[in-house]
Amino acid sequence: MAKLIIEIIHPLRFLREYRTFDAPQIRIGRGYDNDLILGDPHVSPAHLVVRNEEGGWVVEDIGGENGMYVRKFSKVAERARLDSGDEIIIGRTRLRFFSPEHPVAATKLLVPAHPFFQRIEKPVNAWSILLVCAMIFTAHVYMTSIEDVSILKLASGSLGFLFAAFAWAGAWAFIGRMIQHKTQFAAQLSLVLLFLVAGLMSVNVSEYAGYSFNSVVVEIMFAAALLGVLGTAFLAGNMTLATNVSLRKRIAVCSSIFLGIIAILTLLYYSFKDEFNPNPMYFSTLKPPFAKVLPDRSIDRFLTETAGIFDFPDKIKKPAAN
Amino acid sequence: MKREKFISGKFLLLVGVLGIAAALSAAAAGAQSMTDEAQSIYESSHPSVVQIQVIDLATGKKTSIGSGFQFTPEGHMATNFHVVAEAVHSPQRFRVESVRHDGVTDPVDVLDIDVIHDLAVIRGHESQPTYLPLGRPDLSKGTRIFSMGNPFDLGMSIVEGIYNGLMEDSLYKKILFSGSINPGMSGGPALNKAGEVIGINVSTAGNEVSFLVPVEHLAQLRARVPAAPDPLGMPGTRWKKRIGEQLTENQDQYVKRLLEPDWNTLEVGEAKVPGELLNVFKCWGKSEDKEKDLYNYAYINCSTSDTIFLSPGFSTGSIVYKYFWLASKGLNPVQFYNLYENHFRVPNPYENAGEEDVTNFNCDNDFVDIGGRDTKVLWCARQYKKFPGLYDINLSLALVDRNDRGLLAEVVALGISKANAIEFARKFLKEIQWQSSSLK
């Protein structure tokens, strides 16, 4: 007598329970006289009979009210031969049938978190990162202010960054709680803070690069490259902490998010590029003297080299003669 | 009626009442002899003065009005270019009519225009015997003159005022007329006591500050008008070419005049910069050094009062340049440059043209050695769609070799050719010098 294992699957696709049967005939339905009793109101009181026939299993619909779907044929059937691993749907319930010999996947070994994540999860490190980042944000606010303001005002100016970091880390901690059953808020927060600091630095570096090389294109390229790489790395870090997704998928998801953002911005740029703007959109970044690396042009050379600003595509329409 | 309304007003201030009463009595006492003069000039001149209407062909109604007057026995009439501009640009959508003193409406052809001085010579189909002779503009300041026209479509009127000479800060000298010219009077004649035309009404700055085009420009334009008009009329494309030629020639002369003399200089902070390039430029300045601010600044703005009207929403011809000296009183270099950049970021607002008239700006920038010091120079140009050889330009620069002070300068020139723009920019940049005494 062969054993039969029935897996009951929740409509949301997660496993509810396994039952093992060791009988020639198994009756399945909502009635209390069944071998497998289902709570699904769409299942008939006596719905299925599974019989061992000629060394194999056969399933038969005896209820007839809502029918039986064999997953592999995806159509209503009255009677079907079962292979191990087949799925049958009655009402809203899915049942999967296995023989005891059905192969199983290799054991997933528990992998300890990367030492970096272990480190930033430690409260002392997380607090230090928070403190250092708050100081950097405050310094940033100080550098952009042009008034004589107190340190308290400066610190409160940096609160925006901290709030953003807390909100972002909170969201990922929640996801981690749901998926991994581990919150790891401190690690998530440290990660976001480090990202914000690095992002702030990349924006500054890009501005200096654009200014030094006289080109808004250089600035945008720098910003896109730095923020893209940083963003991908940190988002992948958030996902590592909060989900079970494999490394390859993590990188794929995160980089496609950033490539998508770049694609959307490019699209927007090109769709609004030809909109009429009465004012010049000039590249007005100015940085202190230390940022100047390229040599000066002479006035004459400048005027010769920039004469291209007077070149316009010749697409002026000729009005119809009248 | 109006006076009764004023007096019955509940919240009328006593001062107001006294003011009005004083004005009324003064006018009544002094005006008797002048009124007679105006009356006789009106009597003799008004048959030659017409109202000009631009008729929208789609609706058959007038879209704009002005005034005009006949000044030759052959029936040539003068008005402002801006009165008939729409019909010149789109003859397929508008036509021009004159309405005579006796109410007769007569379609008119535009024979020639002078966009620089805002004049047009037109001629009706039916000629009239009466005309106003052109006079000589050799009046002395304070002479009483008379302006005629049809303000707000209310009826032909005559206005007394004072001739106050030619405007000083203008390339295209206009007569300053202290009298009220109102919308609808544009293109009407300004007459001396002999009833001769000495100017053409053109614009007002409000409060009895009005401007007249000197009559010699009309005489010059008249001399150019061909004896027989083109039987087909002037199609829009040919007017466009004509306007383009006039603008190009005008800016050539203008820039030549600008580049010829040695420029006087102004001091802004440590910089010695071009000042009032010609006597037509006027500079205004302002500086601020507040106790609580960590910086102080000085600001100078120079411009002419000249603009050339081309069409509603499109004008050209002016040059503006401004300087901004900013010095830190305790900001660190990064902070100072944030502030400095914020002032650099905002360009002069360009309100002179719309999308049909100009392209977007093209810009470029580089570090340039100006007078031995490092500056960042940006410059931008946009092309006139209808007059492709002409551009609006913006030249902006920032001194970037000091941690705690800097000069921003911006030059805006409208309706200028590429070659002239480059030469003007070259001279402008080369004129900037630094006072070495206060350098570290």
How many whole angstroms separate alpha carbon B92 and alpha carbon B113?
Answer: 18
CA dihedral B342, B343, B346, B352 (to 10 degrees): 170
**Among A23-32, B80-89, B161-170, whose mean pLDDT is lowest?**
B161-170
Residues A284, B345: C-beta atoms closer than 8 Å:
yes
**Band of the pLDDT at B237, cuts 50, 70, 90?**
confident
Partner-chain residue, chosen from B340, B349, B367, that has the shortest CB–CB distance to A292: B367
Under 8 Å between Cβ of B399 and B344: no
- pLDDT for the residue numbered B235: 63
- Mean pLDDT over A201-210 rounds to 94
Please, what is the average pLDDT of chain A?
A: 88
Residue A296 pLDDT greater than 60, yes or no: yes
* CB-defined contacts A:B, below 8 A: 160
Average pLDDT, stretch B17-36? 48
Judged against a pLDDT cut of 60, whether residue B1 lies above it is answered with no
pLDDT tens per residue, range B245-300: 999 999 999 999 999 989 999 999 889 999 988 888 989 999 999 888 889 999 99
Helix (H) or strand (E) holding B8, with range, is: helix B2-8
CA distance A90 to A77: 11
The number of helix segments (H) and strand segments (E) in chain B equals 8, 24
Cβ-based contacts of A299 with chain B (< 8 Å): 368-370, 426, 429-430
**B237/A296 touch (CB, cutoff 8 Å), yes or no:** no
Residue type, A130: L
Residue of chain A with shortest Cα separation from B353: A278
pLDDT at res. B19 = 40
The CA distance from A185 to A121, in Å, is 8
Q: What local confidence, expressed as pLDDT, does residue A127 receive?
A: 93
Give the per-residue pLDDT at B20: 42
A226: distance to nearest CA of chain B, Å?
Answer: 22
Chain A positions touching B400 (Cβ under 8 A) are 286-289, 292
Least confident range of A4-18, B260-274, B376-390: A4-18
Which residues 383-422 of chain B have a CB within 8 Å of chain A? 383, 385-386, 388, 391, 394, 396, 398, 400-403, 406, 418, 421-422
Q: With bands split at pLDDT 50, 70 and 90, how would you rate the model's confidence at A91?
A: confident
CATH placement of domain B35-229: 2.40.10.120
Beta bridge partners of B98: B52, B106
Query: Ramachandran region of residue A188, left (φ > 0), alpha (ψ -120 to 50) or beta?
Result: alpha
Tokens, residue B438: 């206060």
Instruction: Indicate the pLDDT class of residue B137, thresholds 50, 70 and 90.
Output: confident
Pairing between strand B49-56 and B62-70? antiparallel
Query: CA torsion sign, B367 to B369 to B373 to B378?
Result: negative
pLDDT in tens, A237-260: 999 889 888 888 888 999 899 899
Residues of A in contact with B87 (CB under 8 A): none
Span A161-178, pLDDT tens digits: 999 999 999 999 999 998
- Within 10 angstroms of residue A292's Cβ, the number of other Cβ atoms is 16
Mutate to test the interface with B, among A212, A269, A297, A310 (most CBs of B within 10 A): A310
Q: Mean per-residue pLDDT for A3-16?
A: 81
Residues of B in Cβ contact (< 8 Å) with A310 = 362, 381, 383, 391, 418, 421
Beta-carbon separation of A279 and B350 below 8 A: yes
pTM (two decimals): 0.79
User: What was the pLDDT predicted at B33?
Assistant: 54
- Are the C-beta atoms of B175 and B190 separated by less than 8 Å? yes
- Whether residue A319 is predicted with pLDDT greater than 60 in this model: the reply is no
Among A26-40, B29-43, B103-117, B375-389, whose mean pLDDT is lowest? B29-43
Least confident stretch, B7-21, B201-215, B363-377: B7-21
Find the CB nearest B341 among A286, A294, A314. Answer: A286
Smallest Cα distance from B382 to chain A, Å: 7
Contact across the interface for B362 and A309, Cβ inside 8 Å: yes
B436 has a pLDDT exceeding 70: no
Cα separation, A49 vs A31, whole angstroms: 13
Q: What is the pLDDT of residue A153?
A: 87
- On average, the pLDDT of chain B sits at 86
Judge whether B175 and B116 are in contact, CB under 8 Å. no
Average pLDDT over residues B105-115: 91
Find tokens 């005006």 and name the residue: B31
Buried b (16+ CB within 10 A) or exposed e, A139-176: ebbbbebbeeeeeeebbebbeebbeebbebbeebbebb
Angle, helices B236-259/B81-89, rounded to nearest 10 degrees:
130
- Which strands sit side by side in the sheet containing B265-268, from one edge to the other? B265-268, B271-274, B433-434
Of residues A285 and B227, more confidence is placed in A285
Residue recorded with tokens 């002070």: B405
B24 burial class (0-12, 13-18, 19+ CB within 10 angstroms)?
exposed
**Angle between helix A123-144 and helix A159-179 axes, rounded to 10 deg:** 150
Give the model confidence (pLDDT) of B174-189 as tens digits. 999 999 999 899 999 9
Average pLDDT over residues B384-397: 93
- More confidently predicted of B202 and B347: B202
Q: How far apart are the CA of A120 and the nearest CA of chain B, in angstroms?
A: 32
CB A12 within 8 A of CB A25: no
Determine the Cα–Cα distance for residues B175 and B140; give it in Å rounded to an integer.
11
Does pLDDT of B108 surpass 50?
A: yes
Are residues A319 and B237, on separate chains, in Cβ contact within 8 Å? Answer: yes
- Res B6: pLDDT: 31
ipTM: 0.83
Confidence check: pLDDT of B385 > 60: yes
Going from N- to C-terminal start, the domains of chain B cover: 35-229, 245-439
Q: Which residues of B99-122 are buried (b: 16+ CB within 10 A; e: fewer)?
A: bbeeeeebebbbbbbbbbbbbbbb
* Nearest chain B CA: its distance from A164 CA (Å): 24
Determine the Cα–Cα distance for residues A157 and A138; give it in Å rounded to an integer: 7
